[in-house]
Structure 1
Amino acid sequence: MTPPLSTSRHAPQNASGGPNKGFTIVELLVVIVVIAILAAISIVAYAGIQERAKESVKKSDLQSAAKLIQMFGVENSHYPINHIEIRGALPAGSRLTREPDPYHYLLY
């Protein structure tokens, strides 16, 4: 005959006598730490993507300005003397036609 099993070998019981079905504090902390690490990685990646996008816009604006100056030179047989001459040649609604904002660096 086999000896009876002791209660220490059985699954832990809750107050109502059924087995515990909850998570331990350690399990919950592990999950929270994993989520925090994933959030930190995604925030850093997002910041890098934003920075590359801003650099891409700046590069595109400089290329557009260079082409505009070249076109101005071909059409007028001289390069523009100042920014006012260039603004007259810009298409309406161009980002380059706006007055420069002295505080634009605060937005980046």
Structure 2
Amino acid sequence: MPLVEITHAARFDDAQLRLLAERLPHEVSLAVECPEEPYDGDLRPGDVDLRFRPRGPYDAGGLDLVIEVRSRWTASRAETRDDRCERLRRFLVDLVGTPSVGVFLTLPVAGWAQGE
């Protein structure tokens, strides 16, 4: 289950944020799919967790949109992590209409459990 932190500039309106919320789960799932955890295209509750946060007055960095994806480490993900980031970044640039986008993919050794 990827955890996704979305930090956005104040210029993003509700319609743009709603579009991100609708489209990101699928695109993140494509970005992290691998033989160990294949993506079947059928997202269920708990598959992708999105957390939106507006950029605060003391935040630094300057990008309009920063996406941090945390997903469990696998060898196949680690081998191609830069390509995965770039594909997701290109999707986001096209979606939100600004090149000022950063994508950070973290692959910790981790476990996950959830209930209904």
Same fold (TM over 0.5): no
Please tell me whether Structure 1 or Structure 2 has the larger radius of gyration of its CA atoms. 1
> Normalised by the size of structure 1, how large is the TM-score?
0.25
Structure with greater proportional helix content: 1
> Normalised by the size of structure 2, how large is the TM-score?
0.24
Structure with greater proportional strand content: 2
